[in-house]
Amino acid sequence: MTGQYSSPEKNKIRTALWDRAFNDYAKIEKGLIDDLRYFCMPSAECIYEKHLVANRKLTKRNIVSVEKDYDLSIPIREFLGGEGIHLEDSLENLTRQDKLLLFSPFDIVNLDFCGQAFVFSGQQYQQRWSAIEYFFKKNYEKRKSVFYLLLTIFGGRSSSVGKQFLLDKITQLNDITGLGKNPTSWKEDRLIQEVLPSIIVDMGLKHNYYTGSADIEGYRYRQTGHRCNMVAFYFKFRLLDPKLGSSTIEKNNLFNAALSYYQNDAKELTL
């Protein structure tokens, strides 16, 4: 297990996507690091969180972490040192019980899942989507004007139902955009990578958050020494201004605009 998350590929993802969120928060949104509330699902080594505290001066008090494993929670708690908040349960359980309410809203939400998202059989995987949606809900309740979602999921092991869903989505995206992407030769990670942003954008709009293609970035990658492909994304969301309107038509327009990400081929990470 040691070193599992310190591969060159993972480090590149951290730099390209995760650091992007912090940079944007500081430079574009002029946010103060002391005010930044960060949600994460760290590894036992807390590699990225240690970097944030040491180099970006993130306040530990503003870190909310989740890990369901008893043993892995020990070094995470040690790192947080009684300053940051650590909740020992699955994210799905915590969000279902609304246990993050008191610690929200969040400026940067880092959902670094290890598991798959397109299984659609049984509660466990549907709850993963509910868990993602939860953050939109909680941030909207507090009218958070801007927040960042970093999402990493397993690029495979979808069920047949899940795979069909993804293929159907590609057809739908082709229709909406007028593009004729052909998924026949794609591996599962590419399939997921092409579809997932549209799901997240749609989810955001449902909760009055919008994004644009310039604020979406993703990669598929495989870590050295691993057999599994992962897909990782960066999203920046803004609260819908009531002046812009939140009617179905306007939201539809915003959705279509965001889909311009689909014009480009989904990127594979290169070192």
Partner 1 sequence: MDRVKNIIPNPVKEMIEDHLIKVLTAGTYTTFAKAIRETVSNSYDAGASKVDIIFEPKELLETTNASTTVIQIHDDGMGLDSADFWEKFVSIRKSKIPSKKDKTTGRYPIGQFGIGALAFLPFVQGLSVYSKKTGSEPVHGRIDALKVMETSGLSYADHITKNCELSLVSDAKWNDISNNATSGTIIRIDGINEDVYKYLLRGSPDFEEAGIFDKYANLTKGLKEIMWHLSTVLPLNYEYDEAGVYDSYKTALKSINPSISVQISSVTLMRRIYAQKGCKKYPFIYEDSKDKVKATGVIIANPSITKPKHANGIMLRLNNVGIGSFQFFGFKGHASAQTRITGEIHVEGLHDELENSRESFALYREKFSKLNEALMKALQKSVTAAADLSTKKSENRRAQEENRIANKITEIQKAGLEKAPISKGSGKRTSPTQKPNLKEQYGRKTADTFTDPIDMHYKIRSDHALFKKYRGISEKETLRTVLIAMKLAQLPEDSYQKVIKALIRLKEKK
When the beta carbons of 1 and 249 are compared against partner 1, the nearer one is 1
Question: What residues pair up with 40 in beta bridges, in sequence order?
Answer: 65
What's the CA angle centered on 108, arms 269 and 81, to 5 degrees?
A: 105
Decide: 173 and 195 in contact? Cβ < 8 Å: yes
When the beta carbons of 32 and 102 are compared against partner 1, the nearer one is 102
Distance, in Å, from the CA atom of 95 to the CA atom of 112, rounded to the nearest integer, reads: 16
Least separation in angstroms between CB 45 and partner 1? 8
E strands, 174-228, are: 209-210, 216-222
When the beta carbons of 96 and 181 are compared against partner 1, the nearer one is 96
- Cα–chain center distance at 247: 26
Residue 57 CB-half CA count within 13 A: 5
When the beta carbons of 72 and 199 are compared against partner 1, the nearer one is 72
Question: What phi and psi values does residue 106 have, to the nearest 5 degrees?
Answer: -115, 140
Least separation in angstroms between CB 36 and partner 1? 16
Beta-carbon contacts of residue 205 (< 8 Å; ≥ 6 apart): 240, 251, 254, 255
When the beta carbons of 17 and 46 are compared against partner 1, the nearer one is 46
Least separation in angstroms between CB 34 and partner 1? 12
- Cα–chain center distance at 234: 6
Least separation in angstroms between CB 25 and partner 1? 22
Q: Which residues lie near partner 1 (CB under 8 A)?
A: 1-2, 44-45, 60-61, 71-75, 77-78, 80-88, 102-103
When the beta carbons of 79 and 148 are compared against partner 1, the nearer one is 79
Least separation in angstroms between CB 234 and partner 1? 28
Least separation in angstroms between CB 180 and partner 1? 48
Least separation in angstroms between CB 5 and partner 1? 11
What secondary structure does DSSP assign to 236-263, as a single string? EEEEPPTTT--SHHHHHHHHHHHGGGGG
Nearest-10 crossing angle of helices 188-206, 248-258: 150
Which two tokens mark 23?
Answer: 């940079």
When the beta carbons of 73 and 211 are compared against partner 1, the nearer one is 73
